[in-house]
Amino acid sequence: MRRALIPLLAFCLGLVGITAAAFVMLRPEVTSVGTAAVGGPFTLVDQDGRTVTEKDFTGATHLVFFGFTHCPDVCPTTLQQISDVLAALGPKAKAMKVAFVTVDPERDDPASLKTYLSSFDPRITGLTGTPEQITAVEKAYRAYARKVPDQKGDYVMEHTAIVYVMDAQNRFLGALDISRPPEQTAAELAKKI
């Protein structure tokens, strides 16, 4: 009887070991959740010709949007939606700022940014710089931009159309969903202020 028990016991122990190994190998991997590496230092010029850095946005939750003044639809629509969300936030948005970073520094000088942004909420700051400075900011925010010739012999810019939500320490919190009514988007944003 002992001879029969030893192989049976070995088989059972082996089965337990295989089951334990399978459990360890097949369980979901636990990963830590952290802040995405989006954003970073920059030095640009605003619509009034003043030098602006990321530090000018420190201290309050803020939004960052990439676009250009010759944009036919996405940029003006998004800037109006941002303006509507800021209005819906009311007093909670008092300290909020918005950076509108051009992806077309060849055409978007401070004067053209100033004229263009005059139709939107005054908390929206237009930012431009050299092509190299703009490329560096795009890279830091993981934004995409590319010049595309149009049928008229001119060009338009393909670009990322995300509204980045950054915290008071310039850390990325997520993208703002502005496809909803401004009051709903404002309620979501209010949780991050």
Query: What pLDDT, in 10s, does the model give residues 103-126?
Result: 999 999 999 999 999 999 999 999
Domains of the chain: 43-190 (3.40.30.10)
85: which 2 tokens? Answer: 């969300």
**Residue 1: pLDDT over 80:** no
pLDDT in tens, 29-63: 434 445 568 999 999 999 999 999 999 999 999 99
For residues 67 and 99, the answer to whether their CB atoms sit within 8 Å is: no
Q: d(Cα 69, Cα 90) in Å, to the nearest integer?
A: 27
pLDDT in tens, 64-99: 999 999 999 999 999 999 999 999 999 988 889 999
**Residue 11: pLDDT over 50:** no
Q: Is the Cα torsion angle 71, 55, 38, 93 positive or negative in sign?
A: negative
* Residues 156-171, mean pLDDT to the nearest whole number: 95
